[in-house]
Chain A
Amino acid sequence: MIQPVLDARGISVHYGGVTALDEVDIAVGPGQVVGLIGPNGAGKTTFIDALTGFVRHEGTVRLDGVDLKRKRPHARVQAGLGRTWQAVDLFDDLSVAENIAVAAHRPTLVSTLRELLGATLPQSAAVASSLEALDIAHLAEARPRELAEGQRKLVGIARSLAAAPKVLCLDEPAAGLDTDESAVLGQQLRRLADDGQSMLLIDHDISFVFGTCDHVVVLEFGKVIAAGLPGDVKNDPRVIAAYLGTAAASISGERS
């Protein structure tokens, strides 16, 4: 593989005495979509939390060769590490376009001062383009509370996209979407990847992940148990035993 955009090595996270992640290595190359799957409580969300600095972790996180270890969450995001949340947290008092504008605008001291003195800053083009990328331009003026769950998910993704992340970490973007919607989302994500957007994709919808990703990593109890091409991982006996075999039934039940 060429020099990865995101290179996370030896990531461990402890919650009190519990080890939620144990020495996890994951790399994401340019334009690559890496899938991260695993049963409930495997530590997938925790991994993204660690990458983006929301939990204390051991190990190194490098983005384009820059070490993010000492940076706080917002600085990691500004450095190019975008993320969405498992439970979408849109800003309720802002319209969809304003939600995205928060991510798209990078304030500087000067711009803030100018604004305090009454200047109106121009709307960033990233707002429109990220709405376009997910085909939700018609929602721009809506309020979050008026949206359906699937739409909220899309807005959440568009919001992270607007910050032009080098790597976009998506936490269960297809949860709450119906089969058709998640198929469309898969296409959209593929299109973004083909345009060069690197992604780390978490989801329980196996066919969605295997259909979208170039590379899949499987976590169980905070450890990587398999990694490789979707086709290989799918047939790995350990994965079938740990994840597909036991959990798939309950997951597909949950999804209906």
Chain B
Amino acid sequence: MQNILLFSILGLASGAIIATIAIGVVLSWRGSGTINIAAGAVVMVAGYIFWCLRTGYFAPALMMVPAVLLTLVLMALLAVVVEVVAVKPLRTASPLARLVASIGVLLLFQAAVQLVFGTAPVDSPAVLSAEVVEVVGVTVPIAHFILAGVVVVLALALSMLYRFTRFGLATRAASENERSAILAGLSPDSLSLANSVIAYVVAGLVGVLAASVVGVSASTLPLLIVPALAAALLANFTSFGIACAAGLAIGIGESLLFYASTQSWFPTQDGFALPGMQQVAEFFLIVIALWWRGSSLPQRGETAGRSLPPVPRQERLVRRAAPVVLACAVALVVLPSDFRQAVTTGLVATVLCLSFVVIMGYVGQLSVVQLALAGLGAFTVSRLGTEFGIGFPLGPIIAIALATVLGVAIGAAALRVRGITLVVVTLAAAIAIEQFVFANARWGGGQTGAPVESPTLFGVNLGADASFPGLNGTLPSPLFGLLALVGTVVLYAFVANLRRGDLGRRMLAVRSNERAAAAVGVNVRAVKIVAFGIASALAGTAGVMYAYNYSTVSAGSYGIAIALTLVASVYVLGVTLVQGAVLAGFGAIGAVVPLILQKWVLPQDQISIWVQLIIGVGLLVQLKLFPDGLLVGMELKKERRAEHKAQSEPSVVSPRVEEGVPA
């Protein structure tokens, strides 16, 4: 009993941070109507800024109070910068573009911090009192109570601010109906800015206070966005009080779960508590919150003004793709080993990116779980081969089927949400899979990675170590690369073709307007489920190809930062076009573009962090120029120009001329 109390109190610290991030999410939602995925990274940045100021990392060390104050000022400045760069220019863009921008901010913050300070967590000097108190027989640091108290006070103060001041009422009015707010003389830009500054300062204050209690880490703090999103969902993205209470409760719950994992009845494996239970619990919490809060079709008014990047027609694909395919085939044979590897990886990543084209481009649902599903497919192939002796082709089939089933299950769990809100579920799912499956010593790869047997068919080796005339002994085999090329081309054609067919039309109808689609007899849920199935199968296929490509599977390749980087790059290049997937694929970690950067441009190590940084920056720049994505924007310009030309000639679309007018 005492232990339960002790762990509950210890959970207050991380609960306070989760609550703060949840409050930050609510503030951004109210201020600019977008889900701020970067809210956790903001707390991390505050922690690092304070740590620099206090330890004298750049300049002479400051005393505590000036350091805290300066941190808050810098956070306010940062809020202004982010607002000007990543929020304001996208005011009229689609919510998807705005959400992707917040992913860009997250990637940028995380990569920048990791490049400057390294990936290991830093110990921040204590701010809060180190004293302990005794509560009903257990001794606990007083800092935990102060931290929780500060967050509660902040939540109450914000509630007051929004309920009773003119500013708060204006924000509420604008978040309910932006157009009428503009008519009433309120500027959405300045409201958004003010809310953002408040969010950053609040996050900064708690980040500073909590830094010494929970430690500052660039890899874990940004991910606290997941439990924070659960709390924000429970609060319907509006109530500070509920967000705060739910955040604290989640922190306490997780601490108790940790305590439970030390108990004998907790499920164990090889003598250790099963990992990832906390992330699995978070996922289910989010699913429950969504079922409770969501509704299955958008209500009247909710649909207005929500546009996604347009889907240009895809014409003359064969003529456009043929030179690329030919170039890849030649490259796979003549280039040196590392480039052959990079081309193959680019092909595999293209397949993965095609899954984003289906689910995000065609159906408008933002899902980030595909890389995790790919990882699942890859590990399954490895395990089936090494433990059960099931090889090619049955192993891959089972692996792809498994990824598909899991993907469909996640999609089904998320049926009550749509569009950008889906990111919440899929983010939680990706992290749960990462922690529950990949980090599991028996199912995942552990530190060393799981070995994969090469695929053979009728005794012929088809894998990366297959023989190839003239190139025997140098990995990877062009044979495998060429097979990957064939597979990629087939799937590319499949996805491109999908858009033209019956199913593709229904997907675009659902994307455009769920209610209108239902009103012409489209089963919206079925379409979404099928789309999830296709996307997951593509992801699973990519996973299998990854496994065979590297002959080993390691959890590090399927992490959430890489997944978000991929999503972001597909979006900026053109998520509604199959060509966008190809570009993004060849820009993915391990593929051609990063290899070139690594070889001749960037420092050799930490290439994935550099790529993350580049994509983060590129994303924000790109969203300003082509908010719908590079290729989509160019394609649309072309279409418009063609239309203009058509309009100068007599148009087919001009209004009809009626003969006699009836009485």
Q: Which A residues, 33 to 62, have Cβ-Cβ distances below 8 Å to chain B?
A: 52, 54
Which A residues are CB-close (under 8 A) to B310? 92-93
Q: In chain B, residues 512-559, which have Cβ atoms closer than 8 Å to a Cβ of chain A?
A: 512-513, 515-524, 530, 534
Q: Does B311 contact A (CB under 8 A)?
A: yes
Q: Does A94 contact B (CB under 8 A)?
A: yes
A17 adjacent to chain B (CB < 8 Å): no
- A72-B524 Cα distance, complex, nearest whole Å: 10
B494 close to A85 (CB less than 8 A): no
Q: CB < 8 Å: which of B509, B515, B530, B661 contacts A102? A: B509
Cβ-closest 9 pairs across A and B: A89-B516, A103-B520, A77-B521, A91-B512, A73-B518, A93-B311, A74-B518, A89-B513, A91-B509
Chain B residues closer than 8 Å to A151, beta-carbon distance: 653, 655
Tell me the complex Cα distance, A99–B656, Å: 20
**Cross-chain contact A107 with B506 (CB below 8 angstroms):** yes
How far is it, in angstroms, between the C-alpha of A255 and the C-alpha of B516 when the chains are bound?
A: 26
Report A-chain residues with C-beta under 8 Å of the C-beta of B605. Answer: none
Asked if A70 is at the interface (CB within 8 A of a chain B CB), the reply is: no
Q: How large is the interface on B (under 10, 10 to 19, 20 to 34, 35 or more residues)?
A: 35 or more
Could you jot down 28 A-B contacts, CB within 8 Å?
A: A54-B515, A73-B515, A74-B518, A74-B522, A74-B524, A77-B519, A85-B516, A89-B515, A90-B516, A92-B310, A93-B310, A93-B511, A98-B505, A102-B505, A103-B520, A105-B505, A107-B503, A107-B506, A112-B530, A139-B653, A146-B653, A150-B655, A151-B653, A160-B519, A162-B520, A180-B661, A183-B662, A186-B662
User: Given A85-B519, A118-B494 in contact, is the A93-B512 Cβ separation under 8 Å?
Assistant: yes
CA distance A107 to B506 in the complex (A): 10
Known: A78-B521, A85-B516, A102-B522. A115 touches B656 (CB 8 A): no
1/0 contact string of A88-122 vs chain B (CB within 8 Å): 01111110001101110111000110011010110
A-contact bits for B417-441, CB 8 A (1 contact / 0 none): 0000000000000000000000000
CB <8 Å contact, A111 and B524: no
Interfacial chain A residues near B508, Cβ < 8 Å: 91, 93-94
Bound-state CA distance A121–B297 (Å) is 29
| Pair A112/B519 contact, Cβ less than 8 Å | no
Bound Cα distance from A33 to B658, whole angstroms = 25
Chain B residues with CB under 8 Å of A183's CB are 661-662
Inter-chain CA distance A93–B303, complex, in Å, is 16
> Known: A93-B512, A98-B505, A121-B501. Is A74-B653 also a contact (CB below 8 A)?
no
Contact pattern, B 630-663, Cβ under 8 Å of A = 1, otherwise 0: 0000000000000100000000110110100110
- List the B side residues contacting A204 at CB < 8 Å: none
Contacts of B661 in A (CB 8 A): 180, 183-184
Task: List residues 129-148 of chain A with CB under 8 A from any CB of chain B.
Answer: 135, 138-139, 141-142, 146-148
B186 to chain A, nearest CB (A): 26
Tell me whether B134 is interfacial, beta carbon within 8 Å.
no
Q: Using A52-B519, A54-B297, A74-B518 as known contacts, say yes or no to A138 and B652 having CB atoms under 8 A apart.
A: yes
Once A91-B509, A184-B662 are accepted as A-B contacts, the answer to whether A77 and B520 lie under 8 Å apart by CB is yes
User: Which of B497, B517, B655 contacts A118, CB < 8 Å?
Assistant: B497
B502 an interface residue at 8 Å Cβ cutoff?
yes
Interchain nearest-CB distance for A185 vs B (Å): 11
In the bound complex, residues from chain A placing their C-beta under 8 Å from that of B521 are 74, 77-78, 103, 106, 163
Pick from B516, B521, B522 the residue with the most CB of A within 10 Å. B521
Taken together as a complex, chains A and B put the C-alpha atoms of A141 and B502 apart, in Å, by: 16
Cβ A77 vs Cβ B512 within 8 A: no
Min C-beta distance of A119 to chain B, whole Å = 9
Given contacts A72-B518, A93-B512, A138-B652, 5 further A-B contacts (CB under 8 A): A83-B519, A89-B516, A91-B512, A93-B311, A135-B656
Inter-subunit contact A111/B655 (CB<8 Å): no
Contact A160 B520 (CB under 8 A): yes
Docked-complex contact B519 and A120, CB < 8 angstroms: no
Tell me whether A153 is interfacial, beta carbon within 8 Å.
no
A216-253 with Cβ < 8 A to chain B = none
Enumerate chain A residues within 8 angstroms of B494, measured Cβ to Cβ.
118
- In angstroms, Cα B509 to Cα A151, docked, is 19
Whether A141 lies near B655 (C-beta < 8 A) is: no
The reply to whether B519 and A73 form a contact with Cβ atoms under 8 Å apart is yes
**Residues of chain B lying within 8 A (CB to CB) of residue A146:** 643, 653
- Smallest CB-CB separation from B534: which chain A residue? A116
Given A139-B653, A147-B653, also A120-B501 (CB < 8 A): yes
Q: Which of B511, B513, B655, B662 contacts A148 (CB 8 A)?
A: B655
Residues of chain B in range 439-486 having any CB-CB distance to chain A below 8 Å: none
Give bound CA distance, A89 to B298, whole Å: 14
Pairwise interchain contact A112-B503, C-beta atoms closer than 8 A: yes
Report the minimum CB–CB distance from A176 to chain B (whole Å).
13
Neighbouring B residues of A54 by C-beta, 8 Å:
297, 515, 518-519
Instruction: Provide the bound-state CA to CA distance between A115 and B501, in Å.
Output: 7
Closest to A136 in B: B656
Report if A215 contacts B (CB, 8 A): no
A187 to chain B: which residues have CB within 8 Å?
Answer: 662
Report how far A151 CA is from B518 CA in the complex, Å: 22
Contact B502 A91 (CB under 8 A): no
Chain B residue, CB-CB nearest to A48: B519
The listed residue (A91, A92, A116, A181) touching B517 by CB distance below 8 A is A91
* Chain A residues, CB < 8 A from B505: 94, 98, 101-102, 105
Which residues of the other chain, A, contact B303 by a CB distance below 8 angstroms? 89
Nearest Cβ distance between residue A153 and chain B, in whole angstroms? Answer: 12
For A101, give its contact among B502, B652, B662 (CB under 8 Å). Answer: B502
Whole-angstrom CA separation of A75 from B518 in the bound complex: 8
Residues of A near B297 (CB, < 8 A) are: 54, 73
Question: Shortest distance in angstroms between B15's beta carbon and chain A's nearest beta carbon?
Answer: 35
Asked if residues B502 and A92 are in contact (CB atoms below 8 Å), the reply is no
Cα–Cα distance between A102 and B509 once the two chains are bound (Å): 8
Q: Does A166 contact B (CB under 8 A)?
A: no
On whether the beta carbons of B311 and A77 are closer than 8 Å, the reply is no
Once the chains are docked, how many angstroms separate the CA of A146 from the CA of B494? 29
**Do the beta carbons of B516 and A121 come within 8 Å of each other?**
no
Q: How far is the CB of A155 from chain B (nearest CB, A)?
A: 11
- Select which of A74, A83, A107 is within 8 A of B502 by beta carbon: A107
Q: Are A163 and B503 in contact (CB under 8 A)?
A: no
A237 to B257, CA, bound (A): 72
Task: Report how far A50 CA is from B203 CA in the complex, Å.
Answer: 46
Contact A116 B503, CB 8 Å, known A89-B513, A146-B653:
yes
Does A121 contact B502, Cβ atoms closer than 8 Å?
yes
Q: Which of A84, A103, A118, A184 sits near B658, CB closer than 8 Å?
A: A184
- In the complex, A116 Cα to B303 Cα: how many Å? 30
Residues of B within 8 A of A52 (CB): 519
Q: Please, which residue of chain A has its CB at the minimum distance from the CB of B513?
A: A89
How far is B519's CA from A52's CA once the two chains are assembled, in angstroms? 8
Chain B residues, CB < 8 A from A148 = 655
Q: What residues of chain B lie closer than 8 Å to A78, measured between beta carbons?
A: 521
In the complex, what distance in Å separates the CA atom of A152 from the CA atom of B303?
18
In the assembled complex, which residues on chain A have CB atoms less than 8 Å from the CB atom of B656? 135, 138
Q: Nearest Cβ distance between residue A34 and chain B, in whole angstroms?
A: 19
CB distance from A165 to the nearest CB of B (A): 9
Let me know if A105 and B502 touch, CB within 8 A.
Answer: yes
CB nearest neighbor in B for A107 = B502
Distance in angstroms between the alpha carbons of A85 and B310 in the assembled complex: 22
User: Chain A: which residue is nearest B512 at the CB level?
Assistant: A91
CB A93 to nearest CB in B, in angstroms, measures: 4
Residue in B closest to A142 when the chains form the complex, CB atoms: B653
Contact in complex: A91, B516 (CB < 8 Å): yes
The answer, among A77, A107, A121, A147, for a CB contact under 8 Å with B518, is A77
The answer to whether residues A115 and B512 also contact, given A74-B524, A106-B521, A151-B655 and a CB cut-off of 8 A, is no
